[in-house]
Chains A and B, each alone.
Chain A
Amino acid sequence: MQSSLEIADEYEALTQFLYLAPVGIVQLSIDGEISLLNPVSAQLLMPLARDCELSNLFTLLEDVAPDLRYQTEHFDKPHGMVCDALRVQLNAGGRGVSDPPVLSLTLLKLDHARMMALLSDVTTQVKREKLLRQNEAWFNAILTGITDYALISLDASGRVNDWNPSIGRVTGFAREQVISAAYSLFYPSDAITRDRILDRLHEADTNGWSMDDGWILRADGSRFWGSAVIVPLVDRDATPQALAAVLDTQEESRYCLIVRDITDKREATERYRLETQCDHLTGLANRRTFFEAAELELARFKRSPRSLSLILLDADNFKGVNDRYGHGAGDEVLKRLSSVLLTTFRQVDIVARVGGEEFAVLLPSADLDEAYNAAERMRLAVASQSVEVAGQSIRFTVSAGVAAMDGDIAGLDALMKYADAALYAAKAGGRNRVELRAEPLADAELPLA
């Protein structure tokens, strides 16, 4: 028999064990209400708490992982992993911290009423993995499943400067069509910009290669799912004189572009992309993907300034739709809005769900006017249709704020503040409208969403 003193001592040791655990552990109800949590959970969640309230995990994470409640509601097994080490992007940086903080969240359904969540800060790990992933992609590209590829040599500005039969075999283009044409010839027109052509060459110089998967255009207008790698041909250890000689001659081959048809792998890579980079409800890019892509665009802007615009948009009176027709109808509205976004914007634009009913679109090489016009087209398209749910026809509208990057704007956070202030003006101005860059309000004046 243990004495009650020993039991009390053991209880205390167990309590301290939980206090000391270096990961966040939370027990919650199936609708997110928190019943138990340890200190690291509070450390990680308090900065997200709007009114100093740690009562509901879904509410706490609503702005950064808006599809959690939906994922839980649609998890049809009696118990099991709802999400496993889901990466949650918190903000664009700021608060004096140089790296954007990323949380890992695991959600385990215990039974019909209870769940447990595991939280940890994986910011440094994410950074390390990114480097590893790039290496892996590179080896994958050279080592696996090469059946056929087009080998295309490019000059310093990205124009094709030599013919070889593999180009004809893979893409169907003829010699006279490709010689002296920019390599964007092989891409659908809305999937690349003039700036992007040079960005990728520059990134190949900096990183040793530049790689992407996507649609590749054939001469007859048809497409295939391809993988394209650009590799610089200049020896990085070459003497400055040798380097200068190569840089001087524009006709000289500077890069090699290798295009492979990976149609057979598309399903697997797309499934992976949907699971890791997309919002579960809408299929748009998720918050983390948006911030990663936006940081890359901002880095490109800083290296070589060009047009770059951001649209933030918000479904009007969305809470009203949820209250009146239910969450299911709200979800349908968000899905429809997402499909309008995908048809309105270009393939090169980054369209993401960044909050509950908040969306962001980053438009590379688009100036303020072009972004405004695109936002207006989107607004009109949304207003002109309706969603049918359970025999009810629901009409809805959106408000949008547009801002363009310029030298006076410090970074992504600042650009988002301008667009956000414009979005706020659109809301205040009566909704169903698009407003241009406005002066951001001081933090204290910002209304809570």
Chain B
Amino acid sequence: MFNPVVAGITVRATLGRRRALLFAIPAVVLIALTVVLRASNPAGVSWPANVLGTFGFSVLLPLTALIIGTGVLGAEIDDGSVVHLLATPVRRRDVIITKFAVAAGLTTLFAAVPELIAGLLAPNSGKLAVALFAGAVVGAVVYSAVFVLASVMTTRAIAFGLLYVAIWEGALSNLVGGVRILSIAHYALGVANAIYPDHDLQAGLSLSTSLILGAVVTVGGLYLATRRLETFSLAGDPA
């Protein structure tokens, strides 16, 4: 299942790239926004759920997950070094699960932990911070599965991911009620809302619905990614 050698190389490759600096940007934005709002509007208690929940889960969290999730395997596919990994008897399923685990772990570190910090900085929070953290961890897991899948399906995974985040998660899922069922941000919000019920989280899904759908998307995504990697082909002579 999980392969520590693959994980070690992946962590080093992911954090060693210049792209790694990008991971921190959404987190810094989120924490800076929290600090600014706290200073300018100390009396308002409704904004933390809005900003950290809705905005955080449908924009900042998926952006971090996108950069990390499409990089853990996609970067190796792009430059061809993945062949060194695939020219070993390591099962493709193990490659996908390990890459996914690294992506989910790093996204937790760079997106869910900042949610927790921002939550603690926000006024009257405490339990809200824990709820946001738990929701963000669920979001990190599901988003990572989707973006790892995207990176083995297409070489334009980042473009696909940006459109998906901007149109589906950022706009449609918050405007059209039915889209929530297929929105990862809403799975995360459903989990957060179950721990700390807050109308301003605008959670549209129950805890059980969120967890079941999140699990289905994650397992389905990893299954499809494995199938795709099993048929990974090198281009031959175009002749």
Asked if chains A and B come from one complex, the reply is no
Residues of A at the B interface (CB closer than 8 Å) are: none
